[in-house]
Structure 1
Amino acid sequence: MERSTYYANVNRRQQETPTVAHSYRSGRPVPGLSYTQDGVPISDEQICEWLMEFLAGEGASYGYRKLTVLLRRRHRLQINKKKVYRLCKQMDVLRPQRKIKIKYPKRLANNRVITGSNQLWETDIKYGWLHGEQRFFFLMSIIDVFDRAIIAYHFGLTCEARHLVQITQEALMKRQRFDSSEMPVIRSDNGPQFISHRFEEACETFNLIHERIPPKTPNKNAHIESFHSILEAECYRRHEFETYSQAYEIVSQFIRDYNCVRIHGSIYDLSPYEYMDAVKLGTVTPKFIKV
């Protein structure tokens, strides 16, 4: 008989006689025993007694996985953790699921109105390709949402949480924030570098507020995403990087030109550094930014 035909008949009989439906099972029946490595059958009742002895005599609050190890070692049983879990559940001796304590709770990105520099920074990672060496490189940068300047960046063949901490510290030093009472908010996505304990500890040390955007909402990180789009169109696509040193030189020069030379339509057709100077001198009206 085909398996599908067998289960179709079982299901039909269950529907026709609901009062005895419990007598039919879908799937293989529970054997009620296990075997030792020598082939000796051991009943489930005996296994349950051994489990209770382990729990009462060992003094350790073992879970079903470690109880499975004990049954295999001491009684040479051929048994898997799924059956031990089922037996422990029947005896109501399963340990409760441990609660994961979040040391650094997630702070979602809030709607803000940015009225000046050093109020909100955004950070993200951009990949690049070295054709000559057939491997990727990484650019992790921090942008100021108000003046659009790239404050600090990391360029390398690896990109880890320690690099993020380094450029964050560098950005705070460049903007002279360590002695300031008003610290910027730094916003990122949920990449492994940004959710790491190392970066969260650094934010606490630097007295920074770290916001993370919800998944699938790159618009919440729009300014750094815009910079990466410009970098892709005006730098990566115009060059075929053969070596790491060549890519480093070209990308670093592009970032310098981006900050000092390239004009932005959203800030009076000025470069980021020119816009910062103009705001300080009062020659332009600062543009408030809603994010």
Structure 2
Amino acid sequence: MKKGYPKTKVLRILELNRSTYYYQISKKSKPKRRTPGRAIPGYSLDINNKRVPDDQIKEYIIQIIEDEGLSYGYYKITMAFKRNFNLKINKKKVYRLCKELNILRPQREIKPKHPRKIAKNRTVTASNQLWETDIKYGYIEGEDRFFYIMSIIDVADRDIVAHYIGLNCTGEDAVRLLKIALRKRQLYDAEIKPVIRSDNGPQYISHAFVSACEELGIEHERIPYKTPNMNAHIEAYHRILEDECLSINVFKSYTEAYKEVNDFVKKYSTKRIHSATKYMPPREYYEYLQRTNEKVNIRL
């Protein structure tokens, strides 16, 4: 046929049905379809069938490595999970999460560029001296997925200086939130900036966040593992957020969750009174402290 002979004549000589010939031609021209694998759910279950997001599991992995042994491989980490956290998780998933964290051997043998600075006891006397930051996970039932709420709270006045809501949460998101908080308090170019205190989540130990703190001239300290009391103010705020917003709403969509959480944060800062703020809303108490130069005395 390439030499110009009629297709019908050639097919008749070969005793090949025309439909068979054209079917084979069309089959070759079609690209092969790849059957997609199972979608990554983004969470694991504990023994009570409660969903634990992957980012929380990554934080547990870092905790296991620093607490128990830097030479642990992913299999030992899997065994430690079952002993310490009662998680239903297999070694393949632990391997994938370790790879995402870039802590598989031999990478773990490389000394970190930014050594960890442990949080120390402090006495806070005014706003903008110490900020605490942490991440809370919400769940969207209508879309069967988690979303993230990252917040920065001022220890002195309890105001939520800035917050972030998103379906993903990275070190770059933490950097943007920190810069927004500095601009809101008109501290971006200030000579003295607040100390920022966090836990050991992957967003806060990321190169992006640690480098940004150095460039901005901000002291970043991380609380030791199993000491949430050293981040007590943001932990207390997240408990209120859980009790008064997340646990009483069944979100059908991310848009709905975004609106409800934003409304809650606004109400918390501008309307909700606290005994620690002389029964003023946090935003009003911050303005009061700025106006009167009154000192607080918070030891932590």
1:163 aligns with 2:173: yes
Counterpart position of 1:150: 160
1:131 aligns with 2:141: yes
5 Å-filtered alignment, 1:20-99, equals none
Counterpart position of 1:288: 297
5 Å-filtered alignment, 1:190-201, equals 190-201=200-211
Residue by residue over 1:140-176, the C-alpha shift from the partner in whole angstroms, topping out at 9 and shown as x without a partner, is: 1111111111111110111111100000010111111
Structure 1: how far apart are the matches of 2:117 and 2:146?
Answer: 31
Counterpart position of 1:180: 190
Match of 1:228 among 238, 244, 250: 238
- Ranges in structure 1 where 5+ consecutive residues have no aligned partner: 1-97
1:125 aligned partner, one-letter code = I
Structure 1: how far apart are the matches of 2:287 and 2:183?
Answer: 19
SS where residue 247 of structure 2 aligns?
Answer: helix
SS where residue 235 of structure 1 aligns?
Answer: helix
Q: Percent identity?
A: 50
2:135 aligned partner, one-letter code = I
- Rg larger for: 1
Structure 1: how far apart are the matches of 2:170 and 2:200?
Answer: 14
1:261 aligns with 2:271: yes
Residue by residue over 1:77-119, the C-alpha shift from the partner in whole angstroms, topping out at 9 and shown as x without a partner, is: xxxxxxxxxxxxxxxxxxxxx9632211110001110011111
2:285 aligned partner, one-letter code = Y
Cα distance change of structure 1 residues 180 and 131 upon mapping to structure 2, 3 Å threshold: same
SS where residue 287 of structure 2 aligns?
Answer: helix
2:259 aligned partner, one-letter code = E
**TM-score calculated relative to the size of structure 2:** 0.62
Counterpart position of 1:247: 257
Contact 1:267–1:287, Cα closer than 8 Å, also in 2: no
2:255 aligned partner, one-letter code = S
Residue by residue over 1:59-92, the C-alpha shift from the partner in whole angstroms, topping out at 9 and shown as x without a partner, is: xxxxxxxxxxxxxxxxxxxxxxxxxxxxxxxxxx
5 Å-filtered alignment, 1:208-219, equals 208-219=218-229
SS where residue 211 of structure 2 aligns?
Answer: helix
Q: CA deviation at 1:276?
A: 1.4
Q: CA deviation at 1:182?
A: 0.9
1:112 aligns with 2:122: yes
Contact 2:179–2:188, Cα closer than 8 Å, also in 1: no
Counterpart position of 1:207: 217
Q: Count matched residues.
A: 194
Runs of 4+ in structure 1 off by over 2 angstroms are 98-102, 284-287
